[in-house]
Structure 1
Amino acid sequence: MGRPMAPQQLQQQARGASPVVCQGVKLDAAMQALLEDAIARSTCTVGDRVGIIGLKFAEENLKEGCPIMESAIRLALYLRDYRNKQIAGRTVLELGTGIGVAGLTMAAFGANVLLTDLPEVVPVASKNVNKNADLVKGAGGLAQVAALDWSNPPAELVTGPWDYIIGSDLVYDESSPDALAPVLSRLLGASPRATVLLSHVHRTDAIDDHMTQVFQQHGLDIGLAPRDGEDKGEDDVSIIMVRRL
């Protein structure tokens, strides 16, 4: 696997593709909830759920009862509903990509995305990047995969600059914030205007409280990502925005 390109290189390579506009449809909160519940119980694909025809993953069967997969789908839905017109051409760093659901959704809206995770996860994410290569290219986006150690991120990755930093279910126990907060602080230090959106699964109050405390210690503030009108999101998973204090 080759060395991942810097954000500037991602943008230059993506300019060569002819963009295809993908539009999401925003439903009212009640209808959206009914639709999502019906879809979650069906055998439809992740691509069906996020509204991108042709988006496909080798591990579709893992979505049932899998909090990591569901968290990534919820983030992808938020990006579809609230950010799809702002994504094209933006540079995106995804932390803990897993199989690549959220990152590839952004790439399918024309973003230039670097999907990162532990070395043992990279082959799975790479497989799904390859499966969706034509779709992403047709949308004018770009997707690459790289291994990332949060405790020792390469300088060129930290400096970016990044427009978006995203992640799904990155805080799953009380030790997770101690690993995540420092790397987010460094990334926002180098890209202070970056929008950080994380899909967070609420497991216990203790984990949530510890996350808030540790993030504050690293100069980070946590708040709910903005939504329209009566759309309050779901109780089990929140889309949170992280900013510098």
Structure 2
Amino acid sequence: MASPFVFEREVPRRDGSAGLRLAQRSGGGTGCVVWDAALVLARFLDKSAAHRQAPPGRRLRLPLLRKAVLELGAGAGLVGLMAATLGANVTVTDLEEVQDLLKMNIEKNQHLVTGSIQAKVLKWGEELTGFLPTPDYILMADCIYYEESLEPLIKTLRDLSGPQTHIICCYEERTIGKNPEVEQRFFELIQKDFELEKVPLEKHDEEYRSEDIHIFIIQKKKMNPPS
């Protein structure tokens, strides 16, 4: 059987410096292309870093420099790579069948990385090994799609995150088929253990934004001390 065709997409950065170049694969499954939610989240991270010197009240504080960052369902790796160019120490994760594409894209963009980046296999819901210390940030773009994956995903978020971990979740709202029910179920489940804050659309990148693509910042609920 012939290998899926590999084609490339360039994603520009806000400062006008060299953009990220992502190899994609046609016919390789959902994890082998750059989805719109990944573009929105990557440029949101870039914007947040670009505004770190803005006056208080006019910026969203997401300092990535020297922070431990883990991406779930990384696919082609755009979001994690963007974080690594902003100085974060990143682990991008996905299933075994996506690892060669992830590693290819890490190699293609290594010259832009100012932090560090590595790829690891992670299947949601399974016991975690080799993922310590607890990350400062967990990134996830378009990970809300299959009903059967919701509970394993949320278990993995519970296992990976500590009280100071910020989960940045970006997803595209879809109205066909079971998508609305799946999205509703995700938010029902995650609010049992986590608090959610929606990022207003005006905080997204000015060019890479859409009313159908949402960003939430999620943290574990604080436990009340025993009386």
Q: Which TM class, normalised by the smaller chain length?
A: 0.7 to 0.9
| 2:96 is aligned with 1:132 | no
- TM-score (structure 2 length as normaliser): 0.74
Aligned partner of residue 76 in structure 1, secondary structure: helix
Residue 145 (structure 2) aligned to one of 159, 172, 175: 172
Mapped to 2, the partners of 1:67 and 1:129 lie a distance apart of 15
Give the match for residue 59 of structure 2: none
Structure with bigger helix share is: 1
| 2:185 is aligned with 1:210 | yes
| 2:70 is aligned with 1:93 | yes
Give the match for residue 55 of structure 2: none
Amino acid across the alignment from 2:37: S
Contact 2:13 2:19 in 1 (8 A): no
Mapped to 1, the partners of 2:82 and 2:9 lie a distance apart of 13
Mapped to 2, the partners of 1:198 and 1:234 lie a distance apart of 15
Name segments (4+ residues, structure 1) moved above 4 Å.
Answer: 49-52, 226-233
The worse-fitting range, judged by mean Cα deviation, of 116-125 and 83-92 is 83-92
Residue 57 (structure 1) aligned to one of 5, 19, 22: 22
Contact 2:13 2:46 in 1 (8 A): no
In the alignment, structure 2 segments of 5+ residues that lack a partner are 1-7, 53-62, 222-227
In the alignment, structure 1 segments of 5+ residues that lack a partner are 1-43
Deviations 1:171-221 (A, max 9, x none): 113223212111111122xx221111011121243122111111134x123
Mapped to 1, the partners of 2:25 and 2:18 lie a distance apart of 14
Structure with bigger strand share is: 2
Contact 1:200 1:238 in 2 (8 A): yes
Residue 45 (structure 2) aligned to one of 79, 90, 95: 79
Within a 5 Å distance, the mapping from 1:165-204 to structure 2 comes to: 165-188=138-161, 191-203=162-174, 204=179
Equivalenced residue count is: 192
- TM-score (structure 1 length as normaliser): 0.69
Aligned partner of residue 160 in structure 1, secondary structure: coil
Mapped to 1, the partners of 2:33 and 2:141 lie a distance apart of 9
Aligned partner of residue 123 in structure 2, secondary structure: coil
Contact 1:212 1:222 in 2 (8 A): no
Identity, % of aligned positions: 29
Residue 240 (structure 1) aligned to one of 194, 216, 224: 216
| Shift of residue 230, structure 1, vs aligned partner | 9.8
